[in-house]
A and B are shown apart, each in its own frame.
Chain A
Amino acid sequence: DGGITQSPKYLFRKEGQNVTLSCEQNLNHDAMYWYRQDPGQGLRLIYYSQIVNDFQKGDIAEGYSVSREKKESFPLTVTSAQKNPTAFYLCASSISGDTANYGYTFGSGTRLTVV
């Protein structure tokens, strides 16, 4: 079955460390997205990519980095520059950038905690 897989489900980071969250999809979707979810704030867009080797900053990109070397993969690195990284991170994909007609498929999320 096709789907989108995020790993790990739980991740703990020490102060000053970079950590990478994995997102893989086998849906043959062109577009992929990273959102951050905090209580009471809904989902906020971090980065998105509509095609391999290209990505754009979302609303809260500071302290994060991404790569899109393969269509199937869109890893997110939370760097030490991100001052408040504790959150629930969601990866999503869609057939194309045309969300007026196509929605997102979401992964099951990664909960990142700073210790």
Chain B
Amino acid sequence: SQELEQSPQSLIVQEGKNLTINCTSSKTLYGLYWYKQKYGEGLIFLMMLQKGGEEKSHEKITAKLDEKKQQSSLHITASQPSHAGIYLCGADVNAGGTSYGKLTFGQGTILTVHP
């Protein structure tokens, strides 16, 4: 089983709709990262969350980390075709953040936005 579970695996929305992607772990997350990937390309950094209850926003994308630091959500408001791609969460899932640089990733969420 995955140490980081993302849901949904895929999402199709109409332009202008809001959407949420979730990233869940049974372990405490140390340094939770959200990345976006266009098919066949590298990952682009979106946001990083560290503290329980933390929330960050950039343009129309908001990411939150719950108080227990075991779940994060990525929310897109008024989606646009430019938001389409694969969204991945990554985190250090070892106790005390002792993975020595190794990030574990979720399986990704494929987002399609229809104009």
Contacts and interface: CB of A to CB of B under 8 A. Distances in A.
Contact of B102 (A58, A88, A101, A107): A58
Interface size on A, as a range, is 20 to 34
A99 B101 CA distance: 5
A111 B44 CA distance: 18
Interface residues of B, number: 30
Given A103-B31, A106-B43, A42 B107 contact: yes
A59 B40 CA distance: 23
Interface of B: 2, 4, 6, 9, 30-31, 33, 35, 40-45, 48, 50, 88, 90, 92, 97, 99-108
22 contacts: A40-B107, A42-B2, A42-B6, A42-B105, A42-B107, A42-B108, A43-B105, A50-B100, A90-B43, A92-B43, A94-B101, A98-B97, A99-B92, A99-B102, A100-B30, A100-B50, A101-B50, A103-B31, A103-B48, A103-B103, A106-B42, A108-B41
Given A99-B92, A100-B31, A104-B103, 18 more contacts: A40-B9, A42-B6, A42-B88, A43-B105, A48-B101, A48-B102, A58-B102, A90-B43, A92-B43, A99-B30, A99-B97, A99-B101, A103-B33, A104-B33, A104-B43, A105-B45, A107-B42, A108-B42
